[in-house]
Structure 1
Amino acid sequence: MGLLRRLATGVFGSTKATIPMARSRHRASSDRVGSRMLITMAAFIGVFAAIGGRLIYLGYQNANFGTTLGIHPTVARPDIVDRNGVLLATDIKVYSLYAEPRRIIDVDEVVDKLLTVFPDLDFSETYERLNSDLGFVWLRRQLAPHQKDAIMNLGLPGLGFRKETRRFYPSGPTTSYILGLTNIDNKGISGLEKYIDDQGLADLQILGMATANDLAPITLSIDLRVQHVARDEALQAKKRFRAKAAGAVVINAKSGEVVAMTSVPDFDPEYPIEALRPDKLNRMSAGLYEMGSTIKSFTTAMALDSGMVTLDSTFDARRPITIGRQTIRDFHGKHRVLTVPEVFIYSSNIGSAREAEVVGVEGHREFLKRLGLLDRTPTELPETAVPMEPKDWKKVHSITASFGHGFSTTPLQTAVGVVALMNGGRLMPPTFFPRRPDEALAVSKQVVSSKTSEDMRYLYRLNATDPGGSGKRGTVQGFRVGGKTGTAEKVVNGRYSSDKNFNAFVAAFPIDDPQYVVLTIIDEPLRENSDRAATAGFSAAPIAANIIRRSAVMLGVSPKFDKELDTAKRSSL
């Protein structure tokens, strides 16, 4: 008021007392009029300020109305598509049912009629909530269209619908472990849905900047066609071998892109509660297993890369190795000196242990760590397990680790390590998003020499073509597949069981210049028409062969039937 008075009266300096009396009376009168005007103006300003403040208050209350009453408006999410633009996840509009108990006339009638639409409705709980002074209660979220129509036809006062957003997955269970799930408020809680939120989508949603029109589709590296093939083959194998579980992953050997990854049993995202069952686990990235003889790929590569071993080197496998209370034997021992290729194709535990001795305990652990087998795989999928290894590595741990026992890792990171052995020696983090070869090169690192990689490609192909090799059932005519089996006895009650296996097979094709690596697993398979445990060559290898046979052309790999290319001679590689 002081500032207004000074501006209204033009007080910019002092006034002399020598002004005539008449003029003084006139000025005094003017001052009184000015004062009344200022008071009137102040009153109007006060009234309007009060009205404005009230409006702001009410607006704030309205903005928080949903939060106060437990209404959390669902948020928009971007569409997710596969590498070919096929829709994998999208938002759809649904209606949710709420009630305003204060407006309900007859609670008994409302509950009775709601039971005709929702037979599973809890009568006591619903009655108690509706027979209250609450202004708002949710009754059922995300209704099916026929449910909404049925409730509309009931004509019950005090009920209403709120339009919400719900996530829909057109591919159903096929991509469930990759895409993950959202909660009732459409926020990501697992899989890539959670990853996308963590990358900033959740912040945009809070700021109101993530509307449906603002969000461009997100493209994955997944090829839905190959994903379907992988899941179908895993399901068939699980049934055929009466197994506990099965799975597969297909990785681009040039870029590290995951083209397909499946694990069965899986779940239908339309019924998300299924994902909470104990057997619902993404075994490819979140399951830890002793990977058996597939690890011999790394043992042999380690020996070759050390510079102290060549393909012509030999190892004494005539007698078992005894260390402490453990005795290391071969499953089908040759009881003679073996060359490096023979150690590999006959899957000699003794020979692998001798290879590990060349580099020593510390060198062995360092190599496994260099290949990413002892650390959590850096990838976008939140459900990725941390490997388990001995607290203190000793010689016995190095020996058992040489043939895939004594430490646990995930099938995904085993496949990632094999990619490095096949592509010239570069280890690259796997990704579920598109990645160009130059981008892959920028994020990769050289972990073995190109010569070691060339030798390993030769050994992989030899294991698939030699009559004594374990990878014969993983081959596909025309696609020049090389691979390595792994049959690991599972630990039951602290001891290795002879009738429960975890089997794996890892393959690369075409082996002269590998474009893709495929790793398959099958948990506790049984032989057909028998209750005896099946080995990897009979169970896991055929899964990989069938995936390659059905999807190679989709992946841009054409068959070749040149006999020279389809032999296991070093010169052809």
Structure 2
Amino acid sequence: MSFLSRIMDLKSKAHFSHGGNGRPAGATGGTAFQGHRKRSAAQARSRVAVIMACFGLAYCVIGGRLVQYAMTTSEAVSSIGPADNLLASRPDIVDRNGEILATDIRTVSLYAEPHKIVDADEALERLQTVLPELDPRATYKKLTSKSRFQWLQRQLTPKQQSRILALGIPGVGFRPEKRRFYPSGSTAAHIVGYVNIDNRGIAGMERYIDNQGLADLAAIGMTSDAKMEPVRLSIDLRVQAMLHDVLVNSMQKYEAEAAGGVILDVHTGEVLAMASVPDYDPNNPAESAKDGWLNRMSDGTFEMGSTFKIFTTAMALDSGKVKLSDSFDATNPIRIGGFTIKDFHGKRRVLTVPEIFRYSSNIGTAKMADVVGIPAQQEFLTRLGLLTKMQTELPEVKTPTQPREWKKINSITISFGHGVSTTPLQTAVAGAALMNGGKYLPPTFLPRSRDEADAIAQAVVKPRTSDEMRYLMRVNAIEGSGKRALVPGFNVGGKTGTADKVVNGRYVKNGLNFNAFLSAFPIDDPQYVVLTFIDAPKTGEGGGRTAGLNAAPMVGEIIRRSAALLGVKPKFGEDGSALLVSY
């Protein structure tokens, strides 16, 4: 051992023999060392206990919050709802009796996450075995895009979803959605309307619902899956189906381009049924014919022909300048401004007002309008809503057209329905005002009570004028051009209108007509107005093609099939008490 090693060893022994502090070794130093170790152990145990208590408290808080979340509705604890709440719900649409016209059904749509697609070519080939209609180029572009989400096919059937799931393609999935379903198909297409792929209203009452605020709520994400109160319409699905059937059959039977009709409650303004054909199936609107989109009843304007003589006659009688007992000379045609106004079935003699109406005299009607004057004629037609845009819930409403400046020739032609174009629905509404005692009611596709109707009704003619017009309508149906609209027991009254068809602003020269028939029943106490039109018919009941041979029989068929559904009881005999007995 070296000298340095021995020195270090001696110093070490000296240190421990003196307790490391210059004092003799003994119990005092050992006791101090043991006390220090005990204090350290106690502190360590205290720290561990504190840490365990903190962890226990944290777990208690977490557990309590989990219990709280479990007992609280999801909407209250999350700003993003579950999958179902991300679906935009729409209220059901039902008819006046609660029959469903439109409702939501659950479906799924196929999407891809391109960054998860392993083999785009293989994925495309497999998908086409289930969805052969997929566009190969467009789909491949989506599968190889740099985006993280791509729609592949919207609104699949359950069978398609099941088959795609069985393919086991990574990177594709399904997202729940809702699809609008229309159980009645095209029966009430132009009234109910349809929605787009995102369940947003595009036309008809579907669009009206969105315009009431539903679309705005959906745009800001405030939609839920909660069941909404259904929107009840004024139409009766039974009557609507019947009307639609008559129009479809008449269009085929008379070889026409189009047809339309409406049934209106004269005391409330409610539309009980309205249709226009050609139409479309709202379940597959894109597959409809081009002409099917147009709702000719409210979104098409036409020269309504001699049905306008109803309004000219009412105007003359209501002005007090003409009475039922008055007569007008219809012997010679009227020549003005290079035009000749003559009667289709001219009697070439003096005609009374009822005869002018019954024989549909253009000459006599023009002379009645001349007595009243052009300003009064404009004011009266405006009062009846025939020259301004109609106000109703249906979005598809067209504005009537009229001359910029009314001259004498305009006044004459307008008196018998040429020179002004208006919608068939407006014509029916104006006719209802002349049948219900003289009260104008804007049409509605929503339920409206008699009290509600009376509160908004506007008096447009005197009650006496209404009585006189009902008399003239009944006479014309019995003795004039409306005979084929008569239905035993229901006292139908009406007026035909045969107008030259207008194409691109000009009258066609091939003899095609736009025919209409405006009627009311029971005419002694009218409850309903029925209007039909047939566009460019090539034939009629008697071989001809005037309104009395096609538009009038359509009204007769509609009343015959709908009267019982509308609650109108037939009356037979002079006092209405007789019963029809068949053996």
1:546 partnered with 2:575: no
SS at match of 2:180: strand
Asked if 2 retains the 8 angstrom alpha-carbon contact of 1:390 and 1:407, the reply is yes
Deviates more, 1:419-428 or 1:495-504: 495-504
Q: Give the unaligned 5+ runs of structure 2.
A: 1-77, 578-583
1:391 and 2:399 are equivalent in the alignment: no
Pairwise CA distance, 1:146: 1.6
Aligned positions, number: 497
**d(CA) in 1 for partners of 2:257 and 2:544?**
12
Give 1:42's aligned residue. Answer: none
Report the equivalent of 1:296.
309
Whether 1:518 and 2:530 are equivalent positions in the alignment is yes
Partner of 1:503: 515
Distance 2:223 2:557 in 1: 43
SS of 1:499 mapped into structure 2: coil
How far apart, CA to CA, are the structure 2 residues paired with 1:247 and 1:362?
Answer: 32
Q: 1:483 & 1:147 partners in 2: Cα distance?
A: 55
Partner of 2:91: 78
1:536 paired to 2:547: yes
Equivalent residue for 1:478? 489
1:377 aligns to 2:369 (yes or no)? no
Residue of 430, 437, 440 corresponding to 1:417: 430
The answer to whether the Cα contact below 8 Å between 1:73 and 1:185 also exists between their aligned partners in 2 is: no
Within 5 Å, give how 1:184-223 maps onto structure 2.
184-206=197-219, 208-223=221-236
For 1:565 and 1:331, the matched residues in 2 are separated by 36
One-letter amino acid of the structure 2 residue matched with residue 310 of structure 1: K
> Residue 488 of structure 1 aligns with which residue?
499
2:87/2:225 contact within 8 Å kept: no
Code of the residue aligned with 1:191 in structure 2: it is: G
Q: Which runs of structure 2 are paired with 1:135-214 in the superposition (5 Å)?
A: 135-206=148-219, 208-214=221-227
> Structure 2 residue aligned with 1:115, among 128, 136, 141?
128
Aligned to 2:369: 356
**Closer, same or farther in 2 for the Cα pair 1:83/1:365, shift >3 Å?**
same
Task: State the alpha-carbon separation in 2 of the partners of residues 134 and 108 from structure 1.
Answer: 18
AA matched with 2:511: D
Flag the 1:479–1:529 CA change in 2: closer, same or farther, 3 A. closer
Partner of 1:235: 248
The higher radius of gyration belongs to 2
Q: CA deviation at 1:528?
A: 5.4
Secondary structure, aligned partner of 2:391:
coil
Letter in 2 for 1:499: G
Range with bigger deviation, 215-224 or 148-157: 148-157
Report the Cα offset of residue 118 of structure 1.
Answer: 1.8
Residue 400 (str. 1) matches residue 413 (str. 2): yes
Structure 2 residue aligned with 1:15: none
Q: What amino acid does structure 1 have at the position aligned with 2:546?
A: T
1:337 aligns with 2:353: no
User: Does the residue aligned with 1:132 lie in a helix, a strand or coil?
Assistant: coil
Equivalence map 1:275-314=2 (5 Å): 275=288, 277-314=290-327
Task: Give SS of 2:520's match.
Answer: strand
Q: CA deviation at 1:147?
A: 1.4
In the TM superposition, residue 132 of structure 1 has moved relative to its aligned partner by 2.2
Q: Secondary structure at 1:142's aligned position in 2?
A: strand
Q: Distance in 2 between matches of 1:365 and 1:496?
A: 27
Q: TM-score, normalised by structure 2?
A: 0.83
Correspondences of 1:449-488 after superposition (within 5 Å): 449-466=462-479, 469-488=480-499
User: SS of the residue aligned with 2:164?
Assistant: helix
2:433 aligned partner, one-letter code: A
8 Å CA contact 1:74–1:185 kept in 2: the answer is: no
Cα shift readout 1:218-260 (whole Å, capped 9, x = no counterpart) = 1100000000010000001000011001111000011000000
Deviates more, 1:98-107 or 1:495-504: 495-504
The one-letter amino acid of 1:245's match is A
8 A Cα contact 1:254 1:423, kept in partner: yes
| Residues 502 and 393 (structure 1), Cα distance of their counterparts in 2 relative to 1, 3 Å cut | same
| Shift, 1:210, TM fit | 4.2
Match of 1:556 in 2: 567
C-alpha distance in 1 between matches for 2:79 and 2:500: 60
Aligned partners of 2:540 and 2:549 also within 8 Å: no
CA deviation after TM superposition for structure 1 residue 281, in Å? 1.1
CA contact (8 A) 2:303 2:421 kept: yes
Aligned counterparts of 1:274 and 1:349: Cα–Cα separation in 2: 44
TM-score (norm 1): 0.84
Residue 497 of structure 1 deviates from its aligned partner by 2.9
**Corresponding position of 1:322:** 335
Identity of aligned residues (%): 58
- Aligned mates of 2:223, 2:468 — CA distance in 1: 51
CA distance in 1, matches of 2:313, 2:575: 26
Cα separation, 1, equivalents of 2:472 and 2:163: 66
Once the two structures are TM-superposed, the CA of residue 282 in structure 1 deviates from its matched residue by 0.7
SS in 2 for 1:91: strand
C-alpha distance in structure 1 between counterparts of 2:537 and 2:129, whole Å: 47
Residue 276 of structure 2 is aligned to residue 263 of structure 1: yes
How many angstroms apart in 1 are the aligned matches of 2:533 and 2:502? 17
Q: Structure 1 528/479 Cα, relative in aligned 2: closer, same or farther at 3 Å?
A: closer
> C-alpha offsets along residues 18-46 of structure 1, whole Å, 9 cap, x if unaligned?
xxxxxxxxxxxxxxxxxxxxxxxxxxxxx
Distance 1:142 1:172, change over 3 A: same
Alignment RMSD: 2.0
* Mapped contact 1:222–1:258 kept (Cα < 8 A): yes
Alignment partner, residue 428 of structure 1: 441
C-alpha spacing 1:275/1:359, structure 2 compared with 1 (3 Å) = farther
